[in-house]
Amino acid sequence: MISPVRTAIFPVAGLGTRFLPATKATPKELLPVIDTPLIQYAIDEAQEAGIERMIFVSHPSKSAIERHVMDDAKLRADLKARGKPQLARDLQEASFCPQTDDVVFTMQHDPLGLGHAVLCARDFVLPGPVAVLLPDDLILGQGCLAEMVAAYQECAAGHMVAAMQVRPEDTRKYGILSTTGRQAGQMIKADGIVEKPSPDVAPSCEAVVGRYVLDASIFDDLANQDPGAGGEIQLTDAISRGIDRVGLAGFRFSGHRYDCGSKAGMLRAILHLATHDPEYHDVLEEHGLRQSSAKAA
Ligand code: UTP
């Protein structure tokens, strides 16, 4: 079956203030989780989901993102000349070629909010629903977008958002779904989203995280929307406005999500990867984060 979700939008134009000064000259989306930038994980996830067109909504000061994403023939030639042909092949494999890959870069000149960034992609999307991936939400394990796209084909709702259970005291950090109680497999039917509610008024503990599959009518809702919280055009406001018309579902993904927009979340993701890679086990032992294999035996 051909996937109805052909376009992925990557909003990467934000200021990344929580990571200053690291993000003064380096875009947040290029911060590495050990050796792989956040944006690369999101691209790999979209490719696994069978996305045809990738649209990056960036900012002129963040041109390093384009340099990372696109092929660099000069760098590859230099690596080959220095006897590193495998490294050159690996880089080519992971990057896009302007002649053969369907990649668009467009600019959001002022960071007017996530919803506004998504709206900036409007003129470039292929027909049908679109996927939106926030690269600073790193989801490891099973590819989240591929799971969502597969479920979307069975789902009656036009808007689908990735959802995970959070502790009641953490509801104020997320958009929280108002659920109807009906659940089918990993899908939860919802009739609203409340932005960052305190625990006493939160309608549930199902938090929305940075993966969305959205009905194409989202662009009309975004275009006709006034600024919301923080004076920004909020994506959740536009999703809420479409619920009566197209429906909303949460999707409980199988992987594990790391909030790499925060320093603690980034550290957790790095420690998780280090724990699973024998190359770093000595380092973890030095810091008492892992028992030495000799002691464990
Ligand atoms: P965040 O709110 O996490 O990113 O947006 P931020 O604003 O860059 O970071 P902080 O909070 O100041 O540290 C999630 C994603 O949406 C993009 C960001 O680049 C990030 O990938 N974004 C956000 C935009 O593209 N435009 C915006 O106006 C806002």
What pLDDT digit, counting tens, does each position of 191-220 carry? 999 989 999 999 999 999 999 999 999 999
Alpha-carbon distance of 67 to 154, in angstroms, equals 38
Domain with CATH 3.90.550.10 in the chain: 7-261
Structure tokens at 95: 């990057």
pLDDT of residue 293: 66
Name the residue with the closest Cα to ligand 1, atom 14: 134
pTM: 0.95
**What confidence tens digit (pLDDT) does each residue in 240-296 have?**
999 999 999 999 999 999 999 999 999 999 999 999 999 999 999 999 988 776 665
Structural fold of domain 7-261: Spore Coat Polysaccharide Biosynthesis Protein SpsA; Chain A (3.90.550)
CA of 207 to the centre of ligand 1 (A): 18
Out of 107, 136, 195, 235, give the residue to mutate to test ligand 1, the one with the largest number of ligand atoms within 8 Å of its CB: 136
CA of 17 to the centre of ligand 1 (A): 9
Alpha-carbon distance of 11 to 115, in angstroms, equals 9
- Which atom number of ligand 1 is nearest to the Cα of residue 112? 28
Sheet strands (E) in 116-232 = 130-133, 137-140, 159-165, 175-184, 187-195, 206-214
User: Under 8 Å CB-to-CB from 37, ≥6 apart: which residues?
Assistant: 29, 30, 31, 68
Mean pLDDT, residues 149-154 taken together: 92
pLDDT of residue 174: 94
Mean pLDDT, residues 177-195 taken together: 89
Look at residue 231 and tell me whether its pLDDT is greater than 90: no
Mean pLDDT, residues 52-61 taken together: 97
User: Under 8 Å CB-to-CB from 140, ≥6 apart: which residues?
Assistant: 41, 255, 256, 258, 269, 272, 273
pLDDT of residue 263: 96
